[in-house]
Amino acid sequence: MMDVLTPIVVLGLMLAALAGFAVGWWIRGRQIAGRELTLKRRFDNRLSAIEEDARRVLERARLEAEAGRRKIEAERDSLYTRLSKLDPEASGVVAPARRAGLPRTRAGRRRNARPPVSEGMGAGAARESDDLTRIKGIGPTFEARLNEMGYRTFLDLALWTSEDLDALGKGLGARIRLKEWSERAAELHRRKYGA
């Protein structure tokens, strides 16, 4: 009888061990899941706090930048107005600073365009319009837009600064080769006026 009980006892012990192992594994899994859930909640809370802080910082920076831009534009407009009152002829020279803020509407461009130069200081040569369509890439439409913005001569285009080129590139579109236009305008000005 002892011989028969031994395999049954061994089998029972193995089943008990297996059941204990399964129950232990299940309890351990629940503990790990609970820890993971706690860690996930902490992570989500911390991530939400960081995102909220980042939103606040970005919003504050945007508002400060907007306020700074408005302040600079107001100061620029004030200086431009003062200069045009002091010397109407010189205000045409300062127009590149003004052009950077030109709106894209036709009325806005006309309103912000350079004032006509009165006689004196070489005004006759400076205001005589050149045929800007002689520059490769400038057609009648672009010539009209440039004229509205106050660019009427080869010299106007030749005197473009890198800031002017950046501002014009944004206003006129990316397909334009402004630097090439400026170089070609300088060449045509030298040919026409010998300067």
In a domain, 188, yes or no: yes
CA distance 92 to 96: 8
Same domain? For 86 and 141 the reply is no
pLDDT score of 154? 86
CA distance 102 to 109: 6
In a domain, 21, yes or no: no
pLDDT score of 117? 42
In a domain, 8, yes or no: no
Number of domains, the chain: 2
In a domain, 11, yes or no: no
pLDDT score of 91? 53
In a domain, 85, yes or no: yes
pLDDT score of 142? 81
In a domain, 77, yes or no: yes
Nearest to 152 by CA among 108, 103, 107, 95: 95
CATH number at residue 136: 1.10.150
Nearest to 112 by CA among 122, 125, 100: 100
Same domain? For 190 and 141 the reply is yes
* Boundary of a domain, candidates 50, 74, 93: 93
**What pLDDT digit, counting tens, does each position of 150-183 carry?**
888 888 888 887 777 777 777 666 556 777 888 8
Domain of 73, in residue numbers: 34-93
CA distance 129 to 60: 47
pLDDT score of 123? 40
Segments of the chain with pLDDT less than 70: 1-5, 88-127, 171-176, 195
Q: What is the value of pTM for the model shown?
A: 0.35
pLDDT score of 94? 53
